[in-house]
Copies of this chain bind each other. A is one copy, B any other.
């Protein structure tokens, strides 16, 4: 399976695991929707910073509130 783990990058640069085995990610405005291979869902105000698919890694960062 080619899912990836989604991490939230904190301001200090450390990474917090949000959801493992993510299959689908959808962006709608400043909201990121994640769905893992088991159908579990997460939603957060964030943006995608980077993907490293061979390393199974999705990095997200919080959207600053204006």
Contact = CB atoms under 8 A, between A and B. Distances in A.
6 closest residue pairs by CB, A with B: A2-B2, A25-B51, A26-B50, A23-B54, A2-B53, A48-B48
Q: How many copies does the complex hold?
A: 2
A59 to B, nearest CB: 9
Contacts of A24: 50-53
Interface of A: 1-4, 22-27, 37, 47-54, 56, 58
A6 to B, nearest CB: 10
A41 B3 CA distance: 22
Contacts of A49: 26-27
A2 B50 contact: no
Nearest to A24: B52
